[in-house]
Structure 1
Amino acid sequence: MDIIIRQETEKDCRLSEKVVEKAFENEEHSDHREQFLVAKLRKSDVFIPELSLIAEINKKIVGHSLMTKLIIKDGEKEYESLALAPVSVLPEYQNKGIGTGLIEESLKLAEEMGFKSVIVLGHDRYYPRFGFKPANTWGIKAPFDVPDESFMALELEKGSLDNIKGTVAYCKEFFE
């Protein structure tokens, strides 16, 4: 099975939104609106086209991942980071390494682009394999009530979160 991971193009958008919708269709901890979030984020000022990726098998889009800018606020101080959300794979293609490929490529590209860290709200048994740790390790908090073990951060540059603490400020599209 040859998996091609590439930057999403404008003509991929409708299909990738369908992938996102189907990926979260039966997810227990979902509002089942992730596809609308993706569409809104694409039009926002936090969107980074190079970090909107799709996975294809035989020219069929089977996965999508998105990273957008966010801010960690500590009083008047602000630190730039990235949000990894959402990561989506069609149910029939899950557990085949597609999500892993999307995340690894996203992290590599983000690092190459000079970003220093990434924040994710996700499965505490999945994301640590990429190096994510509970964000509270660095004194970073979620802007809403979530289990500490599910709200994680990753340093793309060693030590980049050492002197950073505060609350993550997601863009308004995450709350609409």
Structure 2
Amino acid sequence: MMIRREGSDDVDAIHAVTAAAFRGVAHSAPPVEPGGDPGEATLVSWLRDDAGWIPEFSLVAIEDDQVVGHVLATRAHVAARPVLGLGPLSVLPRRQGSGVGTALMHAVLGAADALGEPLVGLLGDPSYYRRFGFVPAQPAGITAPDPAWGDNFQVRTLSRYDGLTGRFQYAAPFDRL
């Protein structure tokens, strides 16, 4: 498996992987259009067209010249300071549980740290993301965009973290879901 930046030829494959990964999953965003793909697949397209898009943080996992996974981090803010919002993380259902998601997470977190980002926030299952150093955001002084998310909203501090606290705000397209 190889992890690399998304290329223009990967867009359709990323959409397909994201749709497949979130189709029928209880926590997935509802389709934007009735009967359409899960909201996460549409969200990736919206994010590409947003000012918060950072190409260096859109990574694909490739096996046998096929996209089998994708992770994305976009510009977010805590108290008006730039941070990253991670998601969605998508892996083809037949490849889930095989290390693809883990490899993508390590790659995107390594890239974020290397490029001087202070913090990454995400909404997800704490039992999965804890292994990457994520902790519930509220005790760390970061307020979730929606307080009902509780411990499912998590943060991971990086080398440039300096005690930043406040309300977390994702890139604008997240508000459309």
What TM-score does the superposition give when structure 1 sets the normalisation length? 0.91
Per-residue CA deviation, residues 54-85 of structure 1 (Å, 9 max, x unaligned), is: 01111111100000010112xxxx22110111
Structure 2 spans left out of the alignment, 5+ residues: 30-37
The RMSD of aligned alpha carbons is 1.2
- Residues 116-139 of structure 1 show CA distances to partners (whole Å, capped at 9, x for unaligned) of 110011011010101001111221
Shift of 1:161: 4.9
Match among 88, 91, 94 for residue 86 of structure 1: 88
* Structure 2 equivalent of residue 14 of structure 1: 12
Which is richer in helix? Answer: 2
Aligned residues: 168
Which structure dedicates a bigger proportion of its chain to strand? 1
Which AA in structure 2 matches 1:44? D
Report how far residue 148 of structure 1 moved: 2.2
- Structure 2 equivalent of residue 41 of structure 1: 47
Deviation above 6 Å: which 4+ runs of structure 1?
Answer: none
How far residue 20 of structure 1 moved from its aligned partner, in angstroms, is 0.3
Instruction: Give the fraction of aligned pairs with identical amino acids, expressed as a percent.
Output: 36
Quick one: which of 134, 141, 144 aligns to 1:142? 144
Provide TM-score, normalisation by structure 2: 0.91
1:130 matched residue in structure 2: 132
Q: Once the 2 structures are TM-superposed, how far is the Cα of residue 146 of structure 1 from its aligned partner?
A: 3.1
Aligned counterparts of 1:7 and 1:171: Cα–Cα separation in 2: 20
**In 1: Cα distance, 2:65 partner to 2:132 partner:** 27
Residues 138, 161 of structure 1: 8 Å contact kept: no
Q: Is the 8 A contact 2:54 2:74 kept in 1?
A: yes
Tell me which residue corresponds to 1:152: 154
Displacement of 1:167 after TM fit?
1.1
Q: Is the 8 A contact 1:143 1:167 kept in 2?
A: yes
AA of the residue aligned to 2:131: R
Alpha-carbon distance in 1 for matches of 2:10, 2:157: 30
Q: Which structure 1 residue ranges, 5 or more long, are not aligned? A: none
